[in-house]
Every structure is written in C-alpha cells, then in structure tokens.
Amino acid sequence: MSSASTKAQATAAVNSVLSLVLPGSTKIDHNSTKRQNNSKGSKAQLINANLKKAVRVRERDAHSIKKREQRSRRKLQKARQLIEDKVDQQAKLEVLKKHREENALTARERKYLNKVINKNVRDLKSWDVDAEELHELQESVLRNTSQGSSLQKRKQKHRKDDFNESKKPVSGDHRYPGLTPGLAPVGLSDEEDSDEE
C-alpha cells in the first residue's frame, strides 16, 4: 500500500514539474503500467489487435493510393491524347498532300498548310546556327557584359565618392595627456568647474 501511494506522489511531482517546464505536455498516469500488463492478454488477442491496427493504417493509406492511381490514369490519358493528336495531324497532312498534288486545295486548306510549313521552317532554323552567327552572338554578349560591368563600376565609384564627400572632416586626435576618459583633468576637481559656470 505504501509503495502505491509513494508511486502516486512521485507521479504527481513529476507531472507538476513537467507542466511547469513543458506546458502542454501529456501527464503520466501511475496506473498505466498496470493497464499495459492487464491488456497483454493471450496471443490470439494480440494478433487480433495488431491486425486491427494494420487495417487502420491501410485505410489511411488508401487515400494516397487512390491519388497515385488517378495521377497515373491522367498521365496515360495525356499520352493517349498526344498519340491521337499526332495521328490526326498526320492524316490531315496526308489529305492536304493528296489535294495539293491534284491542285484541289481550298483556301482554308492552303492557309493551314502554309501555317504548318512556316512552323516546320521555324523549327528547322532554330536548330541551324551558323558559326558566323554564333561568333557574332558571343561578341555581342561579351560587349554588353563588359559595358554593363564598367557602368556598374562607375556607379559604385560615384556612390563611394559621394559618401566620402558627405562625411564630416575628422579632426586629429581627441586624446589629451592627463585626461581620464569621462573624468576631469588630473589635479582639478569638479567643484572648481561648477564655480566657473
């Protein structure tokens, strides 16, 4: 009996210290060890409890699994759509090619064909870069960066000069022999200074 009351007092003391040091911390229950010993039960009960916990965890994870499946379905749908679009595009181009060979293009088909041709030409030109164009581009980039850096240096120097001009001229040394920092000169008292005022 004395050990149970001693445990209860010790637990209460620990709980009060914890509540002072760590506000919001959970309190310790002195009966929790008894409950754990009683709740162990048989192996079948333990297995059943573990299975129930596993089911709860799976139910929580079911939502994330569903999201993953939806993402993969959307990805597949987009891939299928891209393939279908390419097939449609190819079929349209085949029809346009056939009409062009027969000189039976309508105005709308001619406009669409010109649009596709211009797009393809633009794509090809973007890949085709001459060595001369590359050299010109490099020179212009170097020229712009050197001009930019020299401009930055000039601005920085100008700011520094302005700052130095705005500073007040500093007089020489403020220290005098025989003076102690914050006190009257050695040999003089504060009373003499106050009489002069």
Over 29-79, what HEC string results?
CCCHHHHHHHHCCCHHHHHHHHHHHHHHHHHHHHHHHHHHHHHHHHHHHHH
Residue 138 domain flag? no
What pLDDT is stored for residue 77 in this prediction? 96
Residue 122 domain flag? yes
pLDDT band at 148; cut points 50, 70, 90: low
14-18, 21-25, 110-114, 139-143: the lowest-pLDDT one: 21-25
What pLDDT is stored for residue 80 in this prediction? 95
Residue 76 domain flag? yes
Q: What is the pTM of this model?
A: 0.32
| Percentage of the residues of the chain whose pLDDT score is greater than 70 | 74
Note the pLDDT tens digit of each residue in 1-36. 567 788 888 888 888 888 787 777 777 776 655 555
What is the residue-averaged pLDDT of the chain? 78
Residue 115 domain flag? yes
Residue 48 domain flag? no
Residue 173 domain flag? no
Count of domains forming the chain: 1
Q: What is the domain extent for residue 116?
A: 63-131
Quote the CA–CA distance of 95 and 93 in Å, as a whole number.
Answer: 5
Residue 97 domain flag? yes
- Answer yes or no: is pLDDT of 196 > 60: no
Residue 77 domain flag? yes
The residue with greater pLDDT, 193 or 176, is: 176
Say what angle helices 107-127 and 43-101 make with each other, to 10 degrees: 110
Quote the CA–CA distance of 47 and 54 in Å, as a whole number.
Answer: 10
